Every structure is written in C-alpha cells, then in structure tokens.
Amino acid sequence: RVMQNIIISKAGISRYQELHQQVVGTLVAEFGIRPYPKVGETFELTLDGDAAENQPLEMVRRAGYDPTNWRHNGPTVTGRQTRRFKLDVAGYCPNLAAVQEKLKPRGKTEGQWILAFKAAFPQPDGQGPLGVADPSWVSPRGRALFPGVAYDGRLCLRWASYGRDGDWRWLVPVSE
C-alpha cells in the first residue's frame, strides 16, 4: 500500500508539473508575464534607485511595516541602472552570515534589487522564497533583516539571525 501511494504521488507530481508548465505558457503568451528564471540562468534587471518607491525605507512600508524608527545602514542604488544577475542556491545555512559566506565569490547585491526582480517577474513560481543577502535593514528592536520575495510573491523582510532552508534562492550579480 505504501508503494502504491508513492507511485500515485509521483504521478500526481508529474501531472502538477505538466499543469504548471501550461499555466506558465498561458501567462507568458496571453499576459506577457515572465516565469522566474532557472537557477544559474543569466538575466537583466533595471532599477531606478532614485525613485521614491525604490528607497530602502519605502521597502519597509511595502513589506507591511511602519517604517518609523527603522534604519537602513547599507549601500543603496543610485540613478537608473541595468545589471545582470542569476539565481543561486546556498543550501541550508544556520543564519544569513553563512549564506553570505557561501555566496561571497559571486559578489554582493544591494537589497533594493529585489524590487526590480519583483517588477520583472511578478508571478511567483511556487518553488520557494527568494532573497538578497543584504542585512542592511534594522528594525526598531535592533534586529538586522534582509529583503526577499515570499512563496506567494509578497515583498518580505526576514531576520538575518534565523536559519535558511535549502529552498531559498538568492539573487546574485553576474560578473562582466
């Protein structure tokens, strides 16, 4: 009976993947909505770092928090820029410092770029959350947070001290 359930489950997953591809195809064909890039695939993003809606503390508001008493203590994007990125994985990490260490050879990305990602790829793929390993946001309680996109496509700020499961994908720059 267990083996039968496993076979049924595998068939269900295969059917799910087939339906998912049909939905993605429809979104692209009819609405111009691009699916998330695959891990390792290079893509371009454009961000206007001077626009009010792309400012670090406005990101706090967009993530559902009152930005009063929040701080941003990291680098910011200025001007209109286009850069190349890819998604990468780091596996399980006990905290964001471990993620940063694993992603270090790929370079750093300012957290504001998550907004450009959300604009370019508005439909979540259901394959897990995405983050930028930039803990530059500081809550009123003094906790460092980094920006990301949750499973459902919402902008989120996550505590840097918590562990990260292997399902997280990370926005990293591509060297020229």
**Residue 162 pLDDT:** 83
Which segments within 78-143 are labelled E, that is strand?
Answer: 80-89, 130-131, 137-138
The count of C-alpha atoms lying within 13 angstroms of the C-alpha of 147, restricted to the half-sphere facing its C-beta, is 30
pLDDT of residue 53: 96
Supply the pLDDT for residue 3.
46
For the chain, 176 residues long, give each residue's pLDDT as a single digit of tens. 444 444 555 566 566 667 756 765 666 567 666 789 999 999 999 999 999 999 999 999 999 999 999 999 999 999 999 999 999 999 999 999 999 999 998 888 999 999 999 999 999 988 899 999 999 999 999 999 999 999 999 999 999 988 777 889 999 999 86
- Specify the DSSP class assigned to residue 72: E
Measured distance CA(108)–CA(174) in Å, rounded = 10
Say what the pLDDT of residue 161 is.
86
31: three-class secondary structure by DSSP: helix
Q: Distance between CA 47 and CA 119 in Å, rounded? A: 9
Residue 12, pLDDT score:
61
Nearest to 91 by CA among 173, 146, 164, 171: 164
